[in-house]
Amino acid sequence: MPKKPARKTESLFVSGHRACHGCGLALAVRHILEATGSNVIVVSPTGCLETFTSPYGYSPWRVPWIHHVFENAPAIASGVAAALKAQSRESTRVVAIGGDGATFDIGFGSLSGMLERGDDVLYICADNGAYMNTGGQRSGATPLGAATTTHPAGKASWGKTERKKDLPEIVAAHGVPYVATASVAYLGDLKQKVRKAMTLHGPRYIQIDTPCPSVWNFPSHLTLEVGRLGVNCGLVPLFEMLNGKITKVKKLRSKVPVIEYLKQQKRFQHVVATDAPKERLMAVQEQADRNIEKYKLMG
């Protein structure tokens, strides 16, 4: 059997970890580190990433990585950055990678503090729209209409009735130099954004859409396809903001109706079912249309 050619460089996030098949987050992390290079310290809150990468005695991380508790990754990162500064080791950069539960919800105060202080941290939120590590409970990042285990669809409910928290805007309101959204479905764009963020200093924020086959409930070979549909229907707008101004937007070639995205995922079954009240689908479509208008995604 012919040998595979050796890789030119060893990945900084190697195989053997315990992520689910088709995990968008694991894919994102490998590419984030390809873009950051090895001179980084990574901080992660409790969550899927911590669980599947750190069973004691094993680690896919080839950079220093620290997990402390759930709600303090931004403050841990601030502490690491302060120490690097005090030790004149500032060529080493600090990157935090956390899920949406840690970022939108429980660590929100800590994140806001880090942003407001201007600490030199690139904070990356891997957003899969729910608490996947505990089985898919509602978070502030859960999109309108999605069923979660704590906000299921039932006779008296159609899943999440509130829209997703607009965290990139909230982060931008802190006056930080760089805010971007990305998707694992567009890895070139994702890496370009991470590289760009690494050239800047101060608090920077990238929110990456990382589809989760296990909880969104779609076949695990469709992660990228589902991610692409999310972007192309307008529910996951991809943009870049420098000093609070939008400088780059990924335009949509043609507007994909949200139903094409929703019908791939069982979490939206009650929205797209033929007998579902039409208002549900209309409400979700309205979210996409709002993004398309706000970020000028068409034309």
Partner 1 sequence: MADVRVVEGSEAVALAVKACRPHVIAAYPISPQTHIVEALARMVADGDLKAEYVRVESEFSAASVVSGASAAGSRSYTASASQGLLLMTEVLYASAGMRLPFVITGVNRSISAPINIQVDHQDTISLRDTGVIQLYVESAQEAYDMHLAAFKIAEAPSIMLPVMVCMDGWVLTHSYERVEFLDQKAVDRFLPLFRPENYLDTANPKTWGSYAEGDVLMEFKYAIHKAMSEGKSCIRKIMAEMTSLTGRDYGGLVEAYRTGDAEVILVAMGSMAGTVKDAVDVLRQEGKKVGLLRIRCYRPFPYEELLAAVRGAKVVAVLDANVSMGSEGAVGLDVKSRLNGRPGGPMVIDFIAGLGGREVNSTTVRAVVDRAERLFSSGAPPPEAEWLDLNPAIVP
Q: Residue 68, interface with partner 1 (CB under 8 A)?
A: yes
Q: Residue 84, interface with partner 1 (CB under 8 A)?
A: yes
Please identify which residue in the block is written with the tokens 């589902």. 226
- Sequence-distant (6+) residues with CB within 8 A of 28 are 126, 184, 190, 208, 210
Of the candidate residues 113, 152, 244, 257, the single one contacting partner 1 (CB under 8 A): 113
Lookup: tokens for 21: 């098949």
Total binding residues for partner 1 by CB under 8 A?
A: 45
Q: Give the phi and the psi of residue 62 in degrees, each rounded to 5.
A: -110, 15
Q: Residue 170, interface with partner 1 (CB under 8 A)?
A: no
Stretch that binds partner 1, among 50-58, 157-165, 213-221, 242-250 (CB under 8 A): 50-58
Of the candidate residues 90, 109, 173, 195, the single one contacting partner 1 (CB under 8 A): 109
Taking CB under 8 A as the criterion, which residues in 14-43 touch partner 1?
A: 38-41, 43
Of the candidate residues 20, 34, 35, 51, the single one contacting partner 1 (CB under 8 A): 51
Question: Per-residue x/- marks for partner 1, 199-238, CB under 8 A?
Answer: ----------------------------------------
d(CA 201, CA 198): 7
Judge whether 265 and 222 are in contact, CB under 8 Å. Answer: no
Question: How many CB atoms sit inside 10 A of residue 25's CB?
Answer: 26
Q: Residue 117, interface with partner 1 (CB under 8 A)?
A: yes
Q: How far is CA 151 from CA 48, 57, 104, 146, 270, in A?
A: 20, 37, 17, 8, 13
Would strands 239-242 and 178-183 be described as parallel, antiparallel, or unpaired? antiparallel
Q: Residue 135, interface with partner 1 (CB under 8 A)?
A: no
Compute the least distance from the CB of residue 81 to partner 1, in Å: 8
Stretch that binds partner 1, among 26-34, 72-80, 217-225, 273-281 (CB under 8 A): 72-80
d(CA 126, CA 104): 11
d(CA 187, CA 27): 9
Of the candidate residues 20, 66, 200, 249, the single one contacting partner 1 (CB under 8 A): 66
Q: Residue 40 or residue 252: which is nearer to partner 1 going by CB?
A: 40
Q: Residue 118 or residue 244: which is nearer to partner 1 going by CB?
A: 118
Judge whether 13 and 33 are in contact, CB under 8 Å. Answer: yes
Q: Residue 65, interface with partner 1 (CB under 8 A)?
A: yes
Q: Residue 59 or residue 150: which is nearer to partner 1 going by CB?
A: 59
- Sequence-distant (6+) residues with CB within 8 A of 150 are 137, 138
Phi-psi region of 13 (alpha: psi -120 to 50; beta: other; left: phi over 0): beta
Q: Residue 69, interface with partner 1 (CB under 8 A)?
A: yes
Of the candidate residues 35, 79, 222, 242, the single one contacting partner 1 (CB under 8 A): 79
d(CA 188, CA 236): 16
Of the candidate residues 27, 33, 77, 235, the single one contacting partner 1 (CB under 8 A): 77
Q: Residue 83, interface with partner 1 (CB under 8 A)?
A: yes
Judge whether 239 and 250 are in contact, CB under 8 Å. Answer: yes
Which residue, 262, 254, 267, is CA-closest to 285?
262
Q: Residue 110, interface with partner 1 (CB under 8 A)?
A: yes
The contact set with partner 1 (CB under 8 A) reads: 38-41, 43, 50-51, 53-57, 59, 61-69, 71-72, 74-80, 82-87, 92, 109-110, 112-113, 116-117, 119
